[in-house]
Amino acid sequence: MPNSTVRVGNVEITSFSDGYLEFDACNFFPQVTDAQWHPHEEHLTGEGKVRFNLASYVVRTAGRTVLVDTGLGPPTADDAPNSPWGELLASLAARGVRPQDVDMVVMTHLHRDHVGWNLQKQGSGFSPTFPKARYWMSRKDWEASHRIEVRQRFPNAPSCVWPLESLGLMELMDGEHALTPELTAVPTPGHTPGHMSILVTSQGQKALILGDAAHSPAQVQETDWVSRADMDSNQARDTRRALMERLEREGILVAAGHFPAPGFGKILLLNGRRYWQGLAA
Ligand SMILES: [Zn+2]
């Protein structure tokens, strides 16, 4: 895939994919009408669906290899045959990234399509897929994944996240957190209570690994469009609007994991409207 790697100062970001998910647009964005989609049709499939890439980003910075998000994971017996996901390890291997090369796993949030490859079943327990890594997540999401009223929002946390604690591999982040001198996790809440985006700053250049602050390029302009996956609608809208304004104003390179692969692009302003300009694939 051309342009699956970008450089930001001294930092290299490479896009990998676990596959994709598809939903009917009216199902995923229940409040958005067909007429509202009309000017954004280019972001729908021919069948009127939204298709979300399941990207993970490998960030190489100062001798460290950081994996941001771990996809949906291997399909289970409950999934449809030929599920179009479960490809992350093959995607990494194809570009020479071995599981033991990863020093840090960082989760933007704990929804199921971002934690799927954290662990592997081993006998009656679990072992880490990335054996030398420590695993970073926000404390707010960790706590939410255990809270009875909302824990159904984190359906695979019991097998993909919770065992990290007893394995002694878990690192919790309270608010903004410097992961390395060039990588900072920044709170972008709303989609989940502790949702984080990952800011890369190196030699005066910046990039942001967005996480799920937006799912479709249409939301660059339509920041009020709330998806059924956004846990707090109002907070998600506020975060999305503020982010899009800042990303456009500062010309920050964006890595958007659910936008079409590889998900790198910029937010531009034309005639008072913001739009997504992906780097040509
Ligand atoms: Zn997601």
Distance (angstroms) between ligand 1 centre and the Cα of 271 equals 31
Strand partners, 136: 106, 171
Distance (angstroms) between ligand 1 centre and the Cα of 176 equals 21
Distance (angstroms) between ligand 1 centre and the Cα of 252 equals 21
Report d(CA 99, CA 69) in Å as an integer: 14
Predicted local confidence at residue 2, as pLDDT:
52
User: Please, which residues have CB less than 5 A from ligand 1, an ion?
Assistant: 113, 212
Strand partners, 125: 122
pLDDT in tens, 40-92: 999 999 999 999 999 999 999 999 999 999 999 998 878 887 889 999 999 99
Distance (angstroms) between ligand 1 centre and the Cα of 215 equals 7
Burial class (CB in 10 A: 0-12, 13-18, 19+), 157: buried
Distance (angstroms) between ligand 1 centre and the Cα of 257 equals 8
Distance (angstroms) between ligand 1 centre and the Cα of 76 equals 18
Distance (angstroms) between ligand 1 centre and the Cα of 71 equals 8
Report d(CA 276, CA 87) in Å as an integer: 26
Distance (angstroms) between ligand 1 centre and the Cα of 46 equals 22
Q: Is the pLDDT of residue 133 over 80?
A: yes
* Token pair listed for 257: 């994991």
Predicted local confidence at residue 170, as pLDDT:
98
Residue 85 DSSP label:
B
Q: Which amino acid does the sequence have at 240?
A: R
Q: Would you say the pTM of this structure is higher than 0.95? A: yes
Spatial contact of 183 and 66, defined as CB atoms under 8 Å apart? yes
State which H helix or E strand residue 50 sits in: strand 49-61
pLDDT in tens, 182-241: 999 999 999 999 999 999 999 999 999 999 999 999 999 999 999 999 999 999 999 999
Distance (angstroms) between ligand 1 centre and the Cα of 216 equals 11
Nearest to 173 by CA among 145, 151, 195: 195
Report d(CA 24, CA 278) in Å as an integer: 23
Nearest to 227 by CA among 49, 25, 51, 70: 25
Q: Which amino acid does the sequence have at 50?
A: V
Helices H / strands E in the chain, number of each: 7, 16
Distance (angstroms) between ligand 1 centre and the Cα of 51 equals 12
Tell me the pLDDT band of 281, cut-offs 50, 70 and 90: low
Distance (angstroms) between ligand 1 centre and the Cα of 53 equals 9
The structural domains of the chain, ordered by start, are 5-278 (3.60.15.10)
Distance (angstroms) between ligand 1 centre and the Cα of 180 equals 24
* Token pair listed for 155: 């359906």
